[in-house]
Every structure is written in C-alpha cells, then in structure tokens.
C-alpha cells in the first residue's frame, strides 16, 4: 500500500473549526457602530444632494484683494457659518467674512435689500421669495430636537401625536403623557424663526401653534434664553446642533428615537440663499463651502 502524504485529516478538521469560529466572532460578536451616530460629528450631517436646477460654483483658487462677504440668517446655522468663516479666512487671508444671526426671515430680507450677501435659512424658500430672484443651495441636514430641563421629573419619551397635541394646546398637563400632575409650560419660538416655521410645517402639519395659557411665544429667536427658561416643567424645541452638548437640558425621544439617530423623525435641510446673479464673492465662498475642504471645515467639531 502506498504511504499517504500530507497532513493527517485531523489537521484539516482543526483548521475548518478555527475558521468557523473566526467567522462567528466577526459576524455575530464584532461590536457594531452605534446607530444613533450620523457621522463622527453628531452635530451635523453631510449636505443633501443638490436639486437638479442648483447652480454649481467651483472651488476658488484665489479671491480678489479686500474681498468682503456678509452672512446673515438662521440661528440654527451659527456653528456652521462660523466654521465656514474661519476656514475661508484661513485659506484666503485677503478675505473678510462678517457673520450675524438675525433669524431666517430677517436674513432673507437682508439679502433682498442688499444688506447681506448670503442668508443661512432653516426652511425652504417660498414661491414668492423665489420670484424675487432668490436661490437656495442645500448645505446640510439637521434635526429639530424636543427639549426639557435637566431637572424635569418626566423621564419618558413622546409619540409624534403627543408632540403635536402638546404644541397645539390639546395636552396641557404632564400627567396626560405619564408624568407628574403639573402644567406643561410650552416655550414657542417667534414666527420669524425658521425653526418655528419648519416645526409648524413638519410637526404641526401646517396648523398653528396653540394659544392656551400654558404656551408662551418668546419675543426673540434665541436658543440660550429659551433653554434657561425651561425650568422644571417646561418643554421647547431647537435645532439639535444647539442642544447636543448642553448640560442643563435633555432631549426627549420621539417614537422611541433620540435625535442624532438616522431614523429620528424630525429632520430638515439647511440652505445658503443668495440673489441671482451670484456675485463673484458669493460664488467664491459657496464654491468653497461645497468643496471637500469646505465641507470638512463646516462640520468639524470645535
């Protein structure tokens, strides 16, 4: 009988078992990434695809001497716009970018009146605004968070229907959603706020906010002041970027999902708006903002 060559069968069996065990660990035991993380920076997402009719501005290699650009608009875009300013001025030392945040509507008016070159807005342009020559370029996706004070005894989540009922004045006591017997103090942003308008369109389905005594509409579109007034039984809303790192408030899950998750229900787009035809300065900074380098700067954590 010829002598058998090669390793005995037991070796192949052991190798098979080892490979099988490694495959089991890789597919079933390997830690998965946290589904709530949108990107490495939970404060913002990458920009949505631009609409088919959106203009394309190339990334500038240089800008003219003494280039000056003013950006007004949404308080929701303060961090994004400030990052854009710093990155643009760092790359082009002969450029100056002035940033203010007077709200979406006021920013649009400033562009129409020639008082600003660009407006950051947290809602879509209306047909009337488009007829006035305004054009919107998508820059980022963001989420509207429902927030309560850190000492609020209510620890549960809310359904989409409950959020609707709270902000339309149909639910006015925390006990109606499983909390303590205490009046829900609703803090509403002013109508000039783009976040107010997006909330009304997205969450209230176009209906108006409630006018019950427990609902207070704030005189200014200012997130920090609203958060300070939440107290023990207040509830409000803000763009997620502005509350994600706050230590004095908690975000409330909606339909069992916290903001920051890809499946969170209240998501919207943020835009930069300009008046056509775009000036060379506007083309330069929007070209930079939508370039890979600009996008990295816009969404970097400070």
Q: CATH number of the domain that 230 lies in?
A: 3.40.190.10
The predicted-structure confidence for 29-70, as pLDDT tens digits, reads as follows 333 322 222 232 344 444 445 444 557 899 999 999 999 999
Q: Both 152 and 259 in a single domain? A: yes
Q: What is the dihedral of CA 173, 177, 181, 186, to 10 degrees?
A: -40
Peptide bond connecting 277 to the previous residue in cis, omega within 30 degrees of 0: yes
Contact assessment for residue 249 and residue 151, using Cβ atoms and an 8 Å cutoff:
no
| Full domain range(s) for residue 169 | 143-267
Q: Both 113 and 258 in a single domain? A: no
Burial 22-33 (b: 16+ CB within 10 A, else e): eeeeeeeeeeee
Please count the other Cβ atoms lying within 10 Å of the Cβ belonging to residue 206: 7
Task: Assess if residue 10 is contained within a domain.
Answer: no
Please list, in sequence order, all residues whose beta carbon lies within 8 angstroms of the beta carbon of residue 280, skipping any fewer than 6 positions away: 64
Q: Both 137 and 207 in a single domain? A: no
Q: Both 84 and 195 in a single domain? A: no
- pLDDT bucket at 169, cuts 50 / 70 / 90: very high
Q: Both 259 and 278 in a single domain? A: no
Count how many domains the chain has.
Answer: 2
In the predicted structure, residue 127 carries a pLDDT above the cut 60: yes
pTM over 0.75? The answer is no
Q: Both 101 and 236 in a single domain? A: no
Q: Both 134 and 275 in a single domain? A: yes
**Cα atoms in the Cβ-side hemisphere of radius 13 Å centred on 264:** 26
Please count the other Cβ atoms lying within 10 Å of the Cβ belonging to residue 66: 8
Stretch among 3-12, 118-127, 277-286 having the lowest mean pLDDT:
3-12
In the predicted structure, residue 26 carries a pLDDT above the cut 70: no
Q: Both 202 and 231 in a single domain? A: yes
**Cα atoms in the Cβ-side hemisphere of radius 13 Å centred on 112:** 14
User: pLDDT at position 52, please?
Assistant: 47
Q: Both 150 and 105 in a single domain? A: no
Q: Both 107 and 201 in a single domain? A: no
Q: Both 182 and 107 in a single domain? A: no
Q: Both 104 and 211 in a single domain? A: no
């Amino acid at each position: 009988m010829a002598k058998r060559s090669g390793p005995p069968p037991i070796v192949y069996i052991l190798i098979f078992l080892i490979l099988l065990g490694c495959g089991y660990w890789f597919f079933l035991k390997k830690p998965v990434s946290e589904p709530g993380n949108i990107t490495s920076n939970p404060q913002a997402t990458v920009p949505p695809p631009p609409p088919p009719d959106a203009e394309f501005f190339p990334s500038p290699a240089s800008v003219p001497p003494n280039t000056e650009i003013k950006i007004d608009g949404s308080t929701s875009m303060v961090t994004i716009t400030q990052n854009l300013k710093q990155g643009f001025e760092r790359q082009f030392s002969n450029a100056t970018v002035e940033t203010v945040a007077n709200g979406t509507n006021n920013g649009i008016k400033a562009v129409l009146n020639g008082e600003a070159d660009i407006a950051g807005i947290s809602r879509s342009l209306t047909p009337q605004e488009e007829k006035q020559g305004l054009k919107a370029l998508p820059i980022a996706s963001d989420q509207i968070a429902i927030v309560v004070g850190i000492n609020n005894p209510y620890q549960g989540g809310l359904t989409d229907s409950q959020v609707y009922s709270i902000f339309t004045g149909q639910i006015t006591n925390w006990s109606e959603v499983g909390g303590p017997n205490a009046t829900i103090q609703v803090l509403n942003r002013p109508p000039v706020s783009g976040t107010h308008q997006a909330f009304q369109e997205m969450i209230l389905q176009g209906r108006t906010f409630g006018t019950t005594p427990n609902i207070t509409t704030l005189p200014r579109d200012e997130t920090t002041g609203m958060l300070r007034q939440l107290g023990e039984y207040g509830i409000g809303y803000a763009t997620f970027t502005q509350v994600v790192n706050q230590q004095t408030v908690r975000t409330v899950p909606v339909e069992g999902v916290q903001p920051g998750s890809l499946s969170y229900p209240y998501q919207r787009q943020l835009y930069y708006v300009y008046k056509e035809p775009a000036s060379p300065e506007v083309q330069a900074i929007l070209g930079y903002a939508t370039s890979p380098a600009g996008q990295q700067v816009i969404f970097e954590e400070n």
